[in-house]
Structure 1
């Protein structure tokens, strides 16, 4: 689990999120309220979808320009500057969380059930205490297997010594 979780407020821009994802080498950020309680998650995928929307909007803009002065739709005008759109409009919600006391198995089950790649871990007050990703689970499983190998190796070594 990552304890030092990078998060953003709901009014952060897509541009802010993109910079944070690159700078921190992560693929998603929890979106939090003023009390650091998670209200959503914004991921690379959410930004990619927004980019595709902007591409379509630009082509519509060119069509409107070719319309020679016809008035543009107000919502279209607002969407042209999508890079300044706040993540509150893009984030996945509700955010899927697990309590700090959840086991690795329980967290893996939550991921499977909801078909998600990360689970936000919350403390007793509902604020973010950490985040568990699929990579964390893979590392934990690998560590368990390594520990099992060491135990078996030590056990076999003890038997070999006892036989001598």
Structure 2
């Protein structure tokens, strides 16, 4: 699945000189949490999110930074912080286009999710031909995509094939112990027995097994690895 399959194509936008109360009203009316800021030709100049507006509102309760803060932060950083805290227009509080993380039509859903997680962002504009805004992907789109992932539990696979694939997957993971954790499969039900270090490893094993095609259920008949064993924690 690609960004073009996930995105909202009819994106609400705002002008850079829009007052912040208009930005807030537009977000509420359109039911969105982020608005691309565009120029007259529709090219993205930046992005305003609900977090930017909340930061602006909360700034009225914040104390002014002291002398040392100014010493250890660049002039640009100080000016940007002041604009975000005191500005009245969308252009004052937005994330600038040069700092925006964008996607293209062909960016995969997996890559979008990875970048959003790493950068701790909730919106990713989709651009075409370098600078033309064509859509927006949000975390809500990714969640819907995750819910739409194809299920394979109704598919058929021989038990011996399932067991082989589960063990193969375990051998690829450094936290999975194929020496003391045993796998049996009957009618598509994967059963783990033997020793498992802790609940975290059990959760990992469950997720690992459920990824194998044909697995209908995962059960555990395991015991905790004794704490005195080397490497048990």
TM-score by length of 1: 0.69
Task: Indicate whether 1:92 and 2:98 are aligned.
Answer: no
Flag as ranges the 4+ runs of structure 1 deviating above 2 A: 52-57
Displacement of 1:125: 4.9
2:5 paired with 1:3 = no
Question: Quick check: 1:14 aligned with 2:20?
Answer: yes
Residue 116 (1) aligns with residue 121 (2): yes
Aligned residues: 127
Point out the structure with max Rg over C-alpha. 2
Identify the structure with bigger relative contact order (alpha carbons < 8 Å, sequence gap 6+): 1
Deviation at 1:53, TM superposition (A): 2.7
Structure with bigger helix share is 1
TM-score norm. by structure 2 comes to: 0.50
Unmatched 5+ stretches in structure 2: 1-6, 64-82, 157-233
Contact kept, 8 Å, 1:39 with 1:95, in 2: the verdict is no
Deviations 1:48-83 (A, max 9, x none): 1212234569xxxxxxxxxxxxxxxxxxxxx9xx6x
2:112 corresponds to 1:107: yes
Q: Does 1:25 align with 2:31?
A: yes
Shift of 1:18: 0.7
- Distance across 2 between alignment mates of 1:112 and 1:33: 29
Considering only aligned residues, what root-mean-square deviation do their CA atoms show, in Å? 2.2
Deviation at 1:3, TM superposition (A): 0.7
CA distance in 1 between counterparts of 2:119 and 2:130 reads: 24
Query: 1:53, 1:115 → 2: CA distance?
Result: 21
Deviation of 1:85 after TM superposition, in Å, equals: 1.2
Whether the aligned pair in 2 keeps the contact of 1:40 and 1:91 (CA below 8 Å) is yes
Q: Which has the higher strand share?
A: 2
Distance in structure 2 (CA, Å) of the matches to 1:55 and 1:109: 34
Unpaired runs of 5+ residues, structure 1, are 58-78, 157-164
Query: In the aligned structure 2, how far is the partner of 1:109 from the partner of 1:132?
Result: 13
1:10 CA displacement: 0.9
Q: Spell out, residue by residue over 1:108-155, the C-alpha distance to the aligned partner (whole angstroms, 9 max, x if none).
A: 1221232211100001252111111111111101101xx324xx42x3
d(CA) in 1 for partners of 2:27 and 2:12? 9
